[in-house]
Structure formats: C-alpha cells, structure tokens
Chain A
Amino acid sequence: MSRAFLSPSRCDAGTLTSPLRRALEGANSAAVRDLSLEGVVEIRGDSDLVEVAEGEDLVRLSPQRGYIFTDGDPADVAERLRAGGVLAYDATGALAGMAIESEQVVRRLTDLDLDELPTSGPFAHVTAIVRRADDGWVEVYVQQEYGHYVAEAVVDALTGLDTSRGLTRGQTPDVSDPDGSPA
C-alpha cells in the first residue's frame, strides 16, 4: 500500500487547486499569501526520533505528535521518516495555509500569544497551527475544509483594518458586507 492517494505531490501536474484560491482572488498579495500547496507532513510517535533536514521545520504539538513543514516533496519526507521509525503522513492536502503580513490582522482573529510561536489554538473560531516565518510574517494553517472560510475572515479583517483605522468612537465605517458574515 503506497498511501499515494494521500499525496498531492504524486498527482500529475496541473491537477491541483488551492482551497484558498477563490477567497484570495483579488486579495493584496503583499498582505496575505497562499501556502496551501506547500509540503506538510504529520508525524506520530516519538518526535525526538525525527531528524529534521535542511528546508524542514518541525512544530511539535505534543511529544507524540507534530508537523514538519518542508520545502521538499512531503511524500518523500514521509517515507524517509517512516524508515526512521516514525509514523508519518503527507498532510499537505489536509491543511490550508496562509501567510499574513499584518500582526494586527492576526490579533483580530486570535488571542494566541504571538510572542510564543509556534503554537496551536483557535483562529477565527477554528483550530489552527500558527508559526512565524523568517520574514516575520505569521503563518496560519487550518484544516483545508475551513480554509476558504478562514481566508475570507482574514480578507474581511484586512478590510476592517482599513475601514476602522483612524476612526474614533461614534464614527461609522463604510461596511460593504452589512450582514457581517464572511461565511
């Protein structure tokens, strides 16, 4: 059993679509970037046994569970880890990821401590893994089925930041989405 049906990297070129494509269409790429198709591997077992290679970043959620974010082929990484005695699953398709430039936007969607990254916890009311990229952007990963919703929430928060910036009490920003729900 190859488990290839878990791995987007094993699909032919041109067959993959990010779960965030629609939500981020037209969004300012200088403010939010789609990371959804970048490689992620879920590990189960003793994470101390994991040998992290160059281009990989291990985020431990517990002593027995974590994620490796990789620049390489996640299916290959999973096989390598399995050979090393750790159960590993290509989780690229499981997660939707986005990098957000504005920490203020992130703070409008989570009460996680951004000085203590990586971490996991609620983001826009769903569970997320949140980590800091080298360039300082905040990377947020959620279950891919929530990806569109979370991306909409991020875009909405960006809009809110623009409309509420500089407002004082009593001033009403222009709200283009009066029902208030990005869902």
Chain B
Amino acid sequence: MRLEPRSGERIDRSKPVSFSFAGWKVAGFEGDTLGSAAFAAGKRVFSRSFKYHRPRGLLCCSGHCPNCLMTVDGVPNVRVCTEPIREGAVVEGQNVRWSLDFDFMSVTDKVGGPFTPVGFYYRTFIRPRRLWPFYEKFLRSAAGLGELDEHAGYSRRYDTEHRKARVLVVGGGPAGRAAALAAAASGDGVVLVDEDASLNGMQLDGVEVLAPARALGIWEGGLVPVDAGTVLYRFRAARIIVATGAIEQPLVFPGNDLIGVMLPGGVRRLVNDFSIKPGNRAIVVAADDEGFEVADDLSEAGVAVPRVIDLRETRPRELVAQGGKGRVRRLVVDGESFDCDLLVASGGRQPAYSLLAQAGARIEFDSELGVFVPTELPSGVEAVGSVTGDGLGKVDPEPAYGGKGKCFVCVCEDVTTKDMKRAIAEGFDSIELAKRYTTTTMGPCQGKLCHLPSIRLYSKETRVYEAAIGTTTARPPWAPVELGLLAGRELTPARRTSMHWSHAEAGATIQWAGPWKRPYAYGEKPEDEVRAVHESLGVIDVSTLGKLFVEGPEAVALLERLYPNRFGDMKSGRIRYGVLTSDAGRIMDDGTIARLADDLYYVTTTSTGADAVTAWFEWWNAVWGYEAEIVNVTGAIAAVNLAGPQSRDALQRLTEADVSAEAFKYLDAQEIDVAGVPTLALRIGFVGELGYELHFPSPAGEYLWGQLVAEGARPFGLEPQRILRLEKGHVIVGQDTDSESNLYSAGMSWLPKLDKDDFVGKYALEHFAEREEKERLVGFTMEEDVLPAEGAQIVVEGFPAGRVTSARRSEAVGSVIGLAWVPTDRAKNGTRVEIRVDRLLRGARVTHGAFFDSAGQRMRS
C-alpha cells in the first residue's frame, strides 16, 4: 500500500510503469525497483529458499540477501529489490515447482528436515557410486537458484571500458562523498562509485559519480573492476578509498526467515524511498540504535509499533517468530506473545570490509564493538567511515535465541543452527572447514548476512573467542556479476586479404582457414574450377602466404643455417623450394625462397606459418648474430596465383615485360609491371599447371584481381586448390605432416644437404638418413570410387597401421586419390593397402610421384 506523497520519495507518481510479476500484471512508478513496486502491489512471496523451498519475502531491500532473487526477462538470479523498474519486464519466480505461492517442493520443509541434515548428500548418495550421476541430476534440479538457458544468445550488449583514476572512491555515503570532495580539492581524476541508483546524476564538485555501479574487487596495481550493468569499467587507480559502510546483520532465532521479518534498513527504504506502508503492526527487536530509528519511521508512516525490544537492555532466552503460510503473525519473547505482521530485527552492523580483505588488509575482531574491522591496509588503499568501525556502537546479541522451529544462520543455503552445531560435533573444528561442510557464507549473499552470525554461533559452541576464530577468506567478486559482463563484447580477430570483398561479391563461400577468412569455392562445384585451371585459366588469392624479407650481408649465411638445403649457390632472380626443420629434424614449415639480390631474399611460408617462422628466424639470428634483418611483409604484399595453360598469354596482355618461356623460365623471379602495378612475379605453381605467383602492394589487390578476372581468369578457391595440389602429390605441411614427420619419412630425402657445415636439425637428419623409417608418406589411388575421410585408418592384417591425411576425387586422374602414412613395408609403388571407409575395408594402390602430369611438363612449359 502506498503512502501519501512524501518529501524525499524516489518515485515519480506521474510516470506509471507496468510489468509482469509471476504472471500478474503489476503497476509501479518510475523510480521504483521491481521489488518495491511488487511489494506495493501486495506481493509478498518473492522466492523459494534453496533447500527447503520455504517462501521468502523482502528482507534487506539493499541487494545483499537472496530473498528476492528472481528471473527477469530470462536473466536468472536478479535481485529485484534493487533492479530498476522497466516497462514490460517479465519477472518470474525461480527454483519453484508450480508457483511462488504454492511450491510442491516445499514438502522438503515439512518432512525433509530430519532426513536432510547438513552434508546429507555427501554421505547418503555416495553408494552405489555408479548412481551418482542420477543423484546429482535430481539434487541439482531439486535445490538451487535460477536456471541458465545454455542455448540462449546474447540477451543484452556488454562492453568493457578501461579507465584511469587518480582517486577512486568506493561507496557514496557521507564518508565516501566527503573523501571524494577532499580528494577533488587537490586535483582532478576523482571517481566515486556506488551501488545506489539514487546517486545517479549527483553533482559533486570535481568528482565523477558512477551510479549505480559496484566495485567487484581490488587487485594488484590498483585494478578495480566496476560493474555498471552493461559496462564493466576496469579502473586503474593510484589511490583507492573504500567507504563501503556497514551491513545490517540479522538476528538468529526460530522463524527468522518468515515473510515479514525484515532488517531495519529494508523497512526504511520501503517507507522513505518508495512511500510504502510495509505492514500494519510492527514489533522491533534490535541490538543497536537502528531499531529505534526505524520505529520512528514506522510510526510516522502509520504503522502501529506496540513494542520495541532493546536487546542491549533485555536478554531474552527465547525469541520465536511464528506465523502461518510462511508469514509472520506474532513474536514470542520468553513466553509472552506479541501479534504483528512485520517484525523488524537488527543484529547490529558489520563493517563491509570484503573489498579491503581481498586487497590484502588484515581483518581482526574488535571486542569493543563486537564486529570484525580492518586493521592494516595495503599500500594505496584507504578506508573511511563505518567500514573502519567508526560510528558503530557495541553489539552483543545472543548468537542464537532459543525456541521451537527452524532457526537460520544462513538464509542463502538454508543452514540452521542445528546444522552448524552438528558440523561442529562432527569435528569440523575450524570456521573454514565448517564453511565448506555446511556451505554457510557460500550462497548468493557471499557471507554479507551470515558471516558474523555464524562466527558468533561458532564461538559460543566451541567456547573459542571470535578473535581466535578469525574470518573466512574474502574472495572477489564482492557481489554476483553477470558472466556476460565479465566476458564483455565478443571480438574474434579475423584476417582478410585485400581481395576479400572481391571474393565475397563473386559469391564465394567464405570459410575460416586458421586465422584467415578465405574462399572455399566460388560455386557449387569445385571441380568446375579445377577444370578451368587445367584447361584454360584460373586465379587464386594466395595473399595469406607468409612473406619475409631476409636482407643483409649475411642473409645467405642465415638461410643456409636455417634450412637443410642450399641457397648460397642460387643466382639472383631464381627461386628454390625450402623446408624448415626443427632441432629434432621434424618438418616445421615450407615455402619458396627467391633471391632478389645478393643480399636480399624473399621467403614465403605456409599461410599459418608466417608469425612462427618470423619468430623462429629472429630467435636463431639473435643467437647467431648474423648481419641480416628479417622483416615480415605478409600484410604489405598481396599475392595471386595465375595458373593454367593460358596464364602466360593473359599475363603478357597485362605487362610490357617479356614473359615468354625463354625470357621467364620456370623458377625465375622478376620484377615487372602488371596493369600499372609494380609486381614481383614468381614462376612457380603449387597447382601443377603453368603459372605465376604475382606479389604486389596489398592496396592494389582488388584492382589487379579485377584485371585478371577481366582477362578471363576464373577464380578458384581453397577446395579446388587442394584437389589440384593433390593431383601433383604436393604436401601440405600440417595437413599431411605432423610433429613427428621428417624429410625422409615424408619422401623428401632429396632435400637435405648433409654435407653442409651446420644447419638446424642436422644431427637429427643425419640420424634419420641412416635408420629405416617405420612409416612413410605415400600417395594412393582407390580401387573403387569411394572417398575415405581424412584420418581414415590404413588397415594391415586387421590392425590399424596408418592413416589417410588427404583424399579427393580427381576428375583429371579419374580416380579417388590421396596421401597416407603407411608402414614402410607397404610403401612400395603399386602395393595394395586397405583403407577403412564407412566401416568397410576398401582397396587402394600405393602410387609414387604425381598422379597427374607426373613429368611436370605442364608446369615447366
């Protein structure tokens, strides 16, 4: 029920807002929270408890307790007491079977108590062990919080922002505001963050106010992540002032979780901020001055307050809240009964020191105040206000009041005093062990409302002073945070060549190829593109190849020592194939090396190998100290492979240079001008046809691609390229080789020059040259028209003995062909092997050399 308009109320009654609450349409006002509006509309049951499914209502109204956790617009575990109202929001209960008001699972509260003591599932459900998955599924569905939709997409946008602050003040109460203003007097760069939405827009001279926003933790280097809803601010602050205040603590007595039992601050927020009359008849039980202040507020709001019990003056043995249907109806104090529909209970305030503890502050029990306070603070972190204990009076309530009924120490996890006592009796004789066994303080409030009460109870039961018990470890985040906010905006770096959009506009199917986005093919039938390359002219974007300059007086010495083959005898303008091996002689990468000048080499690598090869070169050069520079120009230079019998004529039409077979031989490298673009042309070809790799400034990519297509070149993608290279038996490093492959087992024994003085992997290659390899990489031709999967087993005498690394159907060869690792005794040309295809063994013949144009005449023509 709303009160008459009051000064200071946060709601704007001229702006009604409506939303759905557990299926009911509820109206509130701008300025309300979802929780306050629902409460004003008469809703009292906001959640069901974790284990016993007891009905729970508003308790703290400050975003600390678990009682108002609900699913809002599909997002679970939202505290509706602080969630701003918004039009059309859909608010639903969670952890319920049927409805918030009637939950079938509440039967566990009626009958489960004796059968579900603390840790029951540890003991009861361990045998038979094989049934644990069933138990786990049942237990997890029976107890818990909201449910995540594992298949949900992004429900909202989250951003991360990196900020710096000279002074970051956490907490916008009087002490925090004063500290912020004082800091601002000596310079700018002061930021104040506070959870309270009412501070949004507050003007403080020289202070930036971020609200509602919540500091999640304090890390080294002054890193403070701040949850501002849809933006995670990652502050780096030179000075951090913590002014998080103190948190009201509940009293521990039977029935302390009934709806209508509230903390004073929660009641005052309902009355003063949202102008809600929270009940008709209230009893106040308090261990500090808060109780008296709330009594005044209630009286002013028209709530009868027949009794205020000051626990500092009277120390009742029995204190029991009783009610019906989960709602408080009366309070019984040492046998004397007081009717009420609102019971305000305060166990004093505990400094909210968690952020300080995470930052490394020492936390000690202050026996004068009866609470834990920070004593030693880490460098760069300060504390002001009641978080230090300032302004707090001594509180010393009974750890637990007697009486009949469930008496909750931890409302998040439904842990009762009986559970705690049982844990102690079972030998969990430290607060950390008891925490893990009972899960007290491990629920959504993260100990804000149960840490101190549990230590008080532990102290009483074990007869150990609180100071000796100490605290449990405070860990970030200080408050629950949405995983989406921590994840931030999803950014997936993608490399695109400068011709990418030409491919996309030509209808290419784009696929990931390592870090690159590349065309798979340009039409439905990759074989059409293969045919074009064989019969006329094709062009493929090979800009993804790694490209390096190796330049300097000792560039050749560096390359000679990096590669197992020779480069010193190459003339300028010539190209040679090279394979890099590791120290262990294993194949790392391959590519071509063109000598452009005496002291300048142009090295290409595999598409995914550029960065690793650059690092490999630089690392070795740092060791050897050659006078040579390694410059990765992969991005600077675009490249295409113009291939097919018509490629020479097409290129000739675009250049004034002589590209005839005589003037531009196979494995030549020449600088030429192609359609107005300075180009390094390499007469090589991975696809086995007459061809030219054209390397040119990347910004000219789209233009030159267009020129080549206009000359009749048909674009072909990765899949046609893979068919074409397989027809030639060309190996793809990483596809056909693995970390154990060496040049001898991969059929490239012709490449290493073991008479060279030294090179990376020489010792290993000398060893490989002398030993008999167990397996070899060979080509194969299927006897039938069946296509083995890459990775398919080579089967010998019924046992797996090898694997297929590549296989394609080749129109030019007229068969299914591929590459495979087979036992050495099966590696001879023409040997029959069996390959498992769809569970059946299919015959194939080992085929040495290229499958198509085995003499290489087309490529060299």
**A-side interface residues toward B, CB under 8 Å?**
1-2, 4-8, 10-12, 14-19, 22, 36-37, 42, 44-45, 87, 89-95, 104, 107-108, 110-111, 113, 115, 124-126, 143-149, 153, 156-157, 160-161, 163-164, 167-173, 175, 178-183
Inter-chain contact B160/A173, CB cutoff 8 Å:
no
Nearest-Cβ distance from residue B595 to partner chain A, whole angstroms: 10
Inter-chain contact B695/A125, CB cutoff 8 Å:
no
Inter-chain contact B703/A93, CB cutoff 8 Å:
no
Our pick among B160, B200, B676, B699 for the contact of A12 (Cβ within 8 Å) is: B676
Inter-chain contact B678/A171, CB cutoff 8 Å:
no
Inter-chain contact A180/B698, CB cutoff 8 Å:
no
Interface residues on B, range: 35 or more
B residues in contact with A173, CB < 8 Å: 156-157, 230
Our pick among B496, B551, B635, B695 for the contact of A5 (Cβ within 8 Å) is: B695
Interchain residue pairs with CB less than 8 A apart (9): A5-B637, A15-B675, A17-B703, A19-B698, A93-B636, A149-B492, A168-B229, A183-B493, A183-B494
A residues in contact with B156, CB < 8 Å: 172-173, 175
Nearest residue, chain B, Cβ from A36: B699
Inter-chain contact B501/A125, CB cutoff 8 Å:
no
B residues in contact with A167, CB < 8 Å: 229-230
Nearest residue, chain A, Cβ from B694: A5
Nearest residue, chain A, Cβ from B679: A5
Inter-chain contact A111/B162, CB cutoff 8 Å:
yes
B residues in contact with A10, CB < 8 Å: 678, 697
Inter-chain contact A42/B163, CB cutoff 8 Å:
no
Q: When A and B form their complex, what is the total count of cross-chain residue pairs whose Cβ atoms lie within 8 Å?
A: 209
A residues in contact with B82, CB < 8 Å: 169
Most buried by A among B492, B572, B636: B636
A residues in contact with B325, CB < 8 Å: none
Nearest-Cβ distance from residue B720 to partner chain A, whole angstroms: 23
Inter-chain contact B491/A15, CB cutoff 8 Å:
no
Our pick among A4, A111, A170 for the contact of B234 (Cβ within 8 Å) is: A111
Q: With A5-B679, A12-B676, A172-B230 in contact, do A144 and B159 touch (Cβ < 8 Å)?
A: no
Inter-chain contact A115/B490, CB cutoff 8 Å:
no
Nearest-Cβ distance from residue B830 to partner chain A, whole angstroms: 45
Most buried by A among B78, B497, B596, B699: B699
B481-509: CB near A (< 8 Å → 1, else 0) gives: 00000000111111111101100000000
Our pick among B494, B633, B695 for the contact of A89 (Cβ within 8 Å) is: B633
Our pick among B491, B600, B703, B704 for the contact of A125 (Cβ within 8 Å) is: B491
Inter-chain contact B84/A168, CB cutoff 8 Å:
yes
Our pick among B161, B489, B549, B678 for the contact of A11 (Cβ within 8 Å) is: B678
- Whether, in the assembled complex, B315 has its beta carbon less than 8 Å from a beta carbon of chain A, the answer is no
Most buried by B among A4, A11, A107: A11
Nearest residue, chain A, Cβ from B680: A5
Starting from the known contacts A11-B697, A168-B212, A169-B212, 8 additional A-B residue pairs (CB-CB under 8 Å) come to: A7-B697, A12-B676, A93-B637, A93-B698, A111-B234, A172-B73, A178-B153, A179-B490
Inter-chain contact B700/A16, CB cutoff 8 Å:
yes
A residues in contact with B495, CB < 8 Å: 143, 145-146, 149
A residues in contact with B675, CB < 8 Å: 12, 15
A residues in contact with B552, CB < 8 Å: 87
Q: How far is the CA of A144 from the CA of B680 in the complex (A)?
A: 20
Q: How far is the CA of A138 from the CA of B160 in the complex (A)?
A: 18
Q: How far is the CA of A149 from the CA of B704 in the complex (A)?
A: 23
Inter-chain contact B678/A4, CB cutoff 8 Å:
yes
Our pick among B162, B491, B638, B700 for the contact of A107 (Cβ within 8 Å) is: B162
Q: With A19-B699, A124-B491, A173-B156 in contact, do A2 and B633 touch (Cβ < 8 Å)?
A: no
